[in-house]
Each structure stands twice: as structure tokens, then as C-alpha cells.
Amino acid sequence: MKKNKDSVIDYLCSVKLAIFLLIVLSVTSVFGTLIPQGEPLNFYQERFNPTFFNLIKLFRLYDAYNSWWFLTILNLFSVNLICCTLKRLPLTIKLLKKNILDTDAEKISRISMKKTIDITNNNDYSSKIKGILGNTKSKKLDDGSEIITSERGKINYLGVYILHSSILIIFLGGILGAILGFKGNLMLLEGEKSSRIINPRTSEEIPLGFEVRCDKFAVEFYDDGRMPKEFRSDLAIIDNNLEVLKTQIIVNKPLTYKGITFYQASYQSVPEISIEIEKKNNKKETLKLSAFDTINIPETSLSLGILQFLPDVHGVPAARIWISDGKNFTDAQWVIKGKSKVFGIGTEQEFKIYLSEVTEKFMTGLQVKKDPGVWIVWLGCAGLIFGFIVVFWIPHRRLWVLIKDNKILIAGQTNKNQFQFERDFDMICKKIEETAKV
């Protein structure tokens, strides 16, 4: 039983497993690159054959990086990192505790990079050498000799642990964001407010816990009048019936409140039309109607709305207007500005409808995102950069100076950047040699 347990632990600690999982993560990440992410399911149903669509739906390839199988691979890779770290930790602790001052004279003499300097007088070389090396330790031996040591970059032993920990922190932030976060869209007319957003994949409503209101939307166009140059929204946050925040957002300048960020993502032109309704008794009513409104016709049980709007039909705007009795009859016709159309509901009610005026309103499109793990991810990224600096740019250097029998033996070791260390070692030897001649 113990043998099986040890074999499982060895497998989880193996470098082969780490390499295999990295390859799997790299290959599966291709799905998130080739397949558009975050679209509604009908988007994939329209573009892929039924078999591939079912695979996309089953394996959540429309949201690959938050899918169950991708998170499983990440968790397994995290376990592998933790096991590898714990397995190497006792040896690392031993190396960190090791005091190079305990190295005996015989071992120092066997170090490959060394130089011996002869001395002829009884000057106090010890204090001078300590001044050259800086940050030294020393001890006197029983035979009257002295060992002086200087050690730098011991943190290099911890570099791999900083990297492993940073990767785990990034994974933790990503998993928290996937579980506790959300992303959705919100469309608001000027003056409109909402406390919910829509999940674009599932069309489900997601409560915000407060209300957001669009006070004003503005868009600037380039000289051709077609391409938008900049669009911005004046937003207000209403929490517990109190207006707690007002600000303007533009692209790349979002608003964040209670961990939820609102990005200026898009806009939509919304027509507002004025229509005149002439009844059989020649009585006229003027009504204003927006694209998403349904209004009642005065003194009747009928309602009307806009099905479709075209800003330019032979040089004038046109709208397809519907009238309904709310039961089983609806009449819908195109009405061009300046001309009338007769609408009939049943046998008793007929109306002439004129499209008298058209104005344009805008609806702001907001992308709303909550990611409680984002700061954890940034912390992990900072740790990752620091870990790479420690591993690749901070060498562990050790110097020994043995003063014995009218000789100074200088020896040194480094675990990386050997060429630079040799240059520094030669410079230190020259300084000590110049001191010995004084």
C-alpha cells in the first residue's frame, strides 16, 4: 500500500507530468483562439455543423478558458507544482541554513577558481580584506589562520519557489474570477436606468445590486459623417435610492463601482418619430413614439409601435408601424414621411397615419464586467517577474579568503554567469594583492 502511495506521489512530482500538462494546456488553448469566445449559442449554431456545434456546447468551447475541463487541467497542473515544490523544499531549507564559514581549509584549497598571494610582513590584512569584500563573516582557526567569507545572492535558491507560487496565485485569481465573476451587456437610452445586465451567452439577467443610469450620451463623427470619432456616456450610480456617483466614461476610461466595471463598448441609433393619427370623425392626435416603445391610442383599446425603421427611403425616412387590438388582429404597414397610410382594425375603426417628424436618439452600449480575481492575477504576474529576475539575474556568489602561513588563498564559486564572475574575481584578487604589497 505504501509503495503504491509513494508511486502516486512520485508521479505527481514528476517533471514529465509537468511537461505533459503544459503541452495539453498549450494545445487546448488553441480552441480559445480559433473559436470566437463569449458569443450566444445561436451564433455557433448558425456557423457550424450540428456535430461540431454539439461538441462546442458539450465542452463549453464558447468559453474555453472557464470550462470544466480547462479548469481541471489547471488544477492538476497546480497539484503538480505544489508536489514538486514540497519535494524540493527540505533540500532548499538545508542549503539556506548552510553557513559557508564552516567550510574547512582543505575544501577551500580544492575549489577550482582560486589564487594564492604571498605576504612578507605582519600587517593587519584581515580588516583590509573585509573592507574590500564587504558584508563578510570571519573566524579564527586553532592553528592561528583565519577564514573570511562573503556571500551574495542566496535568494537565488528561492527563485523557483517564487515562480511556482506566482503561477499558483495567477491560477487562483483566474479560478476566482471564473467562479465569482461575470460579464454581460447593458443598453441604456438617455434617462433610462437599470439594476440588471444580460448574459450574452445565456440571455439570463444578472443583478448588479445597485442601479446605473445614463444621463447623457454623445457621439462625435469624423468629417465624412459616418465613422464615429469618439462616443461617451454620462453615468450615475444609484445605491439604496441615493445617487452616490456621477462620472463620464469613454473608450479606455471605464467606471468601477463595488468591483463592477462599466466599459464604453458601443452605441445604437434609436429613432423617435412623431406621428399624426386621424380618426373617422376627423379628430387628430399627435403621438411621439420611440423604437422600443408601445403606446396606447387615446380613446381606444388599441396600441401601436414600430417594427422597423429606415432613415433613407428615396430621400426621406420611413417606418413600419403596427396597430393591434391586443387579441387576434394586427395591421402593420410602411409609412413614409409626408405621406399617409390607412390602417384598419376590424370593421369599425380605421385610421390615417402620417409620419410628420423624425429625430434621432442614441442608446449607449456598455460592457459590464466583474472579476474579483483580477488583482490576485496582477499580484501573481508581479511575483512572476520578480521570480524570473531572481532565477536568471541574481547569481549565488561565494568567496573565501584563507590567511595562513604568510599566504592569502582566495577562492570563489558561482552558480551562473561564470564569465562575469571571473572578471569580478580577478578584480578582487588584484585589490587584495595591492593591499598585500603595501
Domains of the chain: 2-95 (no CATH), 100-153+395-437 (3.30.310.10), 179-268+364-384 (2.60.98), 270-361 (no CATH)
User: What kind and span of H or E run contains 144?
Assistant: none
Query: Percent of the chain, pLDDT > 90?
Result: 38
pLDDT at 221: 79
Range with the poorest average pLDDT among 109-123, 192-206, 317-331, 356-370: 317-331
pLDDT at 257: 95
Contact 37, 56 (CB under 8 A): no
Per residue in 379-429, pLDDT tens?
A: 999 999 999 999 999 999 999 999 988 899 999 999 998 999 999 999 999
Mean pLDDT to the nearest integer, 70-79 = 87
Rounded distance, CA 222 to CA 348, Å?
Answer: 52
Query: Percent of the chain, pLDDT > 70?
Result: 95
Rounded distance, CA 29 to CA 34, Å?
Answer: 9
**Three-class SS of residue 282?**
coil
Q: What is the pTM of this model?
A: 0.70
Looking at the predicted structure, is the pLDDT value of residue 436 above 80? no
Mean pLDDT to the nearest integer, 236-264 = 93
Mean pLDDT to the nearest integer, 370-384 = 93
pLDDT at 356: 83
pLDDT at 4: 55
Range with the poorest average pLDDT among 116-120, 137-141, 341-345, 387-391: 341-345
DSSP annotation of 291 reads T
Mean pLDDT to the nearest integer, 68-83 = 88
The CA-based dihedral angle spanning residues 44, 50, 52, 55, taken in that order and rounded to the nearest 10 degrees = 90
Range with the poorest average pLDDT among 84-93, 143-152, 180-189, 347-356: 347-356
Looking at the predicted structure, is the pLDDT value of residue 366 above 60? yes
Q: How many CB atoms lie within 10 A of CB 389?
A: 12
Looking at the predicted structure, is the pLDDT value of residue 223 above 90? no
For the chain, how many residues are written?
438
Q: Which of 272, 269, 275 is nearest to 334 (CA)?
A: 275
Q: How many CB atoms lie within 10 A of CB 267?
A: 19
pLDDT at 74: 86
Contact 348, 152 (CB under 8 A): no
Q: How many CB atoms lie within 10 A of CB 58?
A: 10
Contact 265, 367 (CB under 8 A): yes
Name residue, grid cell 391586443.
326
Rounded distance, CA 228 to CA 418, Å?
Answer: 58
Rounded distance, CA 418 to CA 400, Å?
Answer: 17
Contact 395, 424 (CB under 8 A): no
Range with the poorest average pLDDT among 136-145, 331-340, 346-355, 361-370: 346-355
Contact 420, 178 (CB under 8 A): no
pLDDT at 228: 79
